[in-house]
Every structure is written in C-alpha cells, then in structure tokens.
Amino acid sequence: MGDYPSRSVNATAGDLAATSSRGQGAGYGASPSNHNEPPLGGGGALPKKSRFSIETGFRALSTASGAMVLVIIVAIAVFLIYKALPALQANTGHFLTQFEWNPNDATPSFGIAAIAFGTVLSSIIALLVAVPVALSIALFLSHYAPKRLATPLGFVIDLLAAVPSVVFGLWGRDVLQSPVRDFSLWLNEYFGWIPLFGGNGPFGQSILLGGLVLAIMVLPIITSLSREVFQQTPGMNEEAALALGATRWEMIRTAVLPYGKPGVIAAVMLGLGRALGETIALAMTLSIKFDISFNLIENGGNSVAANIANAFGEANETGRGALIASGLVLFTITLVVNMTARAIIYRRREFRDNAA
C-alpha cells in the first residue's frame, strides 16, 4: 500500500479522461514514494488531454450501441414503408376499409379492416379475462399470501411467461379446443339469441379460443408488473387505513389500489401490446376468415399478425408487400400502445422519486 496514497490524493474521477492515454498517474509531478515510474514533467505541466484515446473510443462505441436501439426502430419503419408502398399503389381496393384480402390476384384488392378487427376483438377478450385474474394474483402475491407461498407461486407465474407462444398455440388447438367447443355449444344452446353466441357452428376454433389462449399469455406480464406496484404502496398508508378500522379488502381499496392505479394501467397496456402482436398462437387457434363478425364462438376469426404468418408462404411479391403494409400498421399500433404505457410508468416513477 506504500506508494498508493500519493497518487490517490491527486487523482479523482473527473481527471480520468485526462490521464487515460498516457498510463495512470504518470504525470503527477510529485510522487516521491513511487519508485517504479520516474516522475514526468518535473513538477511542471500536467499531461494534456489527448483527442483520440481508448477512453474516447470506448465512449463512442458504447454511445453508438445505445443509439443502435433508435436506429433499429427507425429502420423498421423505413424498410416496412419502403416495401409496402408498391403494393399499396397496386391496390385497387381501399386499404383501410376493404374486407377482402386478395393481394395475389392480377388486380390486387385488399384491406386491413377485417383482420384489424379480429386483432382488436381477440385482444379485448384476452384482456377481459386476463386483467381481473392477473390483478387478483398480484394482490394475492403482494398482500394475501404468506411468503412461503408467494415465492413459489411468483416463480410459477414467471415460468408461465417463459413458455414459448407456439407451445400455447399447440396446447390451445389440441387441448383447450374441446372444452371451449363444449362451452360454445352450451352458450349457443342457451344464449344463442345473443348475437355474440349465435350461429350454426361449427364451433371451437373461434375467436373465443384465440382470446383465451392470448389471455393465458398476457397474464404473467400484467401480474408481475402489478405485483411490483402493489408492493411499492407505502406501508404507512396501509397502516393508516388499518388504524381507521378497515378490513384487509378495504385497506386494499383505500390505500393500495388508488396508489397503484397508474402502474396497473401501464401494465394492462403492455399486456395489450403483447396481445396485439401475438402471432403464432393465434395462427394455430383461429380458423382464418376475412369478415367482420361479432360472433365469438363460431369457427373464424383472424388477426393481422396471424394473417402474415399464414399467408406469407404462398404470397407473391404484391401479396408480401400487402402483408408488410399490414405489419406496418401493427407496428405503429403497438408502438403507440407501448409508448403510452411506458410514458405512464416514467411519469409515475418521477412522481414517486420526487415525493420520496
């Protein structure tokens, strides 16, 4: 340790860039106890900061890597637009309102309305099912379960998030389909007068099945994020509610839920983003149709992403262009949804940090 103090007295974090290229500590004139390096500069000028050093190079490299994210997002937009334009120009129908999807014909005619409708409908079903369940689990993990139970259950939920979507798709098609078909038949028999559950079948490979599979897939995201915000509720506010004579549920309603609301909204939006963009699970569970129907239980349904996966292989150049155009729409929608969700989270974080 003998020769360190004299250097550490002079060097501070701020000086680092200045000394980096010449080796450390070389120029700090007075270093009497340093026997290895002869003092340079003879007590005179400090070494100049050089313009090109490893330090600047490393800094530039990491900055470029950080910027890469922005480059990729811009590049996605640019390349999708570039390849979608020719197909959109060749389109004889109206891209936004047309129901049909015939981009491979000699006179291509296609519109995104039907598939966009399917995407939205399946996502709504998924959220309707997943959000209450996810919030319940999050509350259970944060406020009900003893730690011995909360840790393994949280782990299981994380594992649920790790299962690939193609496996859920396969499971939905081979396993979940038959109970859903039974349920659909039942709904159709007793509630067939409601348009949602009408129709003459066949049932099963429906938007309901797709929505349920999606629900299972977005569940872990919403759960883990909501759990986090619920756990952040200040303990003293929970105690305040309890001291007023609140039951556990009343405490949650008074202190936990209002505090976590923005975070929960953001979590739901992230779940929505995932549901909107999910491809393979829907491609495997829906029986692709191009129409707008509110019937939830009859075979049918479609989504932007599933349509791309299904139709890509057989599409010609215009067909692929059309699919790319629909992908561009999907990209834009998910980008907006995600940006909104993240903006909420960021604002909340700032608010919390300022309050603390």
Partner 1 sequence: MAKRIEASNVSSYYGSFKAIDSVSMTVEPKTITALIGPSGCGKSTFLRSINRMHEVLPGARIEGSLTIDDQNIYDPDVDVTAVRRMIGMVFQRPNPFPTMSIYENAVAGLKLNGVKKKSVLDEAAEKSLRSANLWDEVKDRLDRPGAGLSGGQQQRLCIARTIAVQPQVVLMDEPCSALDPISTLAIEDLMFKLKDQFTIIIVTHNMQQAARVSDKTGFFSIEKTGDPGRLIEYDDTQKIFSNPSQKKTEDYITGRFG
Partner 2 sequence: MSVLEKQVPGVVMTPDNIRSRKLPVVTNVVIAVAAFAIAAAIVLGLDIGNWVLVAVFGAAFYLIGLSVVAGRIEGKRAARNRTMKALIYTACVLAVLPLISVIWTLVTKGLARFDADFFGSSMNNIGARDANGGAYHAIIGTLEQVGLATLMAVPVGVLGAIYLVEYGRGKFAGTVRFFVDVMTGVPSIVAGLFVYTFWVLGVSPIFNDGRPQASGFAAAMALAVLMLPTVVRSTEEMLRLVPGPLREGSYALGVPQWKTILRVVLPTALPGIVTGIMLAVARAAGETAPVLLAAGGLAAINFNPFEGGQSSLALFVYQQAGDGSKFAPDRAWTAALTLVALVLILTVAAKLLARRNKLSR
Contact footprint for partner 1 (CB under 8 A) = 146, 234, 236-247, 250, 254-255, 258-259, 261, 355
Q: Binds 234, which of partner 1, partner 2, none (CB < 5 to 8 A, cut-off by type)?
A: partner 1
Compare residues 121 and 284 and give the one whose CB is closer to partner 2. 284
Q: Binds 259, which of partner 1, partner 2, none (CB < 5 to 8 A, cut-off by type)?
A: partner 1
Secondary structure percentages of the chain, helix, strand, coil, to 5: 70, 0, 25
Q: Binds 261, which of partner 2, partner 1, none (CB < 5 to 8 A, cut-off by type)?
A: partner 1
Under the criterion CB under 8 A, does residue 283 sit at the interface with partner 2? yes
Task: Out of 92, 312, 349, 351, name the contact with partner 2 by CB under 8 A.
Answer: 312
* Shortest separation between residue 328's beta carbon and partner 1, angstroms: 39
Amino acid at 256: V
Q: Which residue has the tokens 């944060």?
A: 142
* Shortest separation between residue 196's beta carbon and partner 2, angstroms: 18
Q: Which residue has the tokens 């009859």?
A: 298
* Shortest separation between residue 241's beta carbon and partner 1, angstroms: 8
Task: Count Cβ neighbours within 10 Å for each residue of 86-125 and write b for 16 or more, e otherwise.
Answer: ebbebbebebeebeebbbbeeebbbbbbbbbbbbbbbbeb
Compare residues 201 and 258 and give the one whose CB is closer to partner 1. 258
Both tokens of 243, joined, read 């001291």
* Shortest separation between residue 139's beta carbon and partner 1, angstroms: 17
Hey, which residues does 203 pair with through a beta bridge? 298
Q: Binds 99, which of partner 1, partner 2, none (CB < 5 to 8 A, cut-off by type)?
A: none
Compare residues 45 and 244 and give the one whose CB is closer to partner 1. 244
Largest pairwise CA distance in the chain: 97
Under the criterion CB under 8 A, does residue 236 sit at the interface with partner 2? no
Compare residues 293 and 324 and give the one whose CB is closer to partner 2. 324
Q: Binds 96, which of partner 1, partner 2, none (CB < 5 to 8 A, cut-off by type)?
A: none
* Shortest separation between residue 342's beta carbon and partner 1, angstroms: 22
Under the criterion CB under 8 A, does residue 351 sit at the interface with partner 2? no
Compare residues 106 and 355 and give the one whose CB is closer to partner 1. 355
Under the criterion CB under 8 A, does residue 186 sit at the interface with partner 2? yes
Number of residues in contact with partner 2 under rule CB under 8 A: 109
Give yes or no for a contact between 37 and 25, defined as CB atoms under 8 angstroms apart: yes
- Please state the length of the chain: 356
Under the criterion CB under 8 A, does residue 30 sit at the interface with partner 2? no
Under the criterion CB under 8 A, does residue 89 sit at the interface with partner 2? no
Task: Out of 276, 286, 288, 297, name the contact with partner 2 by CB under 8 A.
Answer: 276
Both tokens of 255, joined, read 């202190």
Query: Quick count: other Cβ atoms within 10 Å of Cβ 18?
Result: 17
Under the criterion CB under 8 A, does residue 75 sit at the interface with partner 2? yes
Distances (CA, A) of 203 to 186, 306, 329: 11, 19, 30
Rounded CA separation 124/42 (Å): 75
Q: Binds 170, which of partner 1, partner 2, none (CB < 5 to 8 A, cut-off by type)?
A: partner 2
Within 107-166, the residues that bind partner 2 by CB under 8 A are 132-134, 136-137, 139-140, 144, 153, 155-160, 162-166
Provide the 3-class DSSP secondary structure of residue 284.
Answer: helix
Which among 196, 173, 168 is positioned nearest to 297, based on CA atoms? 196
Rounded CA separation 300/309 (Å): 16
Give yes or no for a contact between 180 and 209, defined as CB atoms under 8 angstroms apart: yes
Rounded CA separation 4/25 (Å): 10
Under the criterion CB under 8 A, does residue 244 sit at the interface with partner 2? no
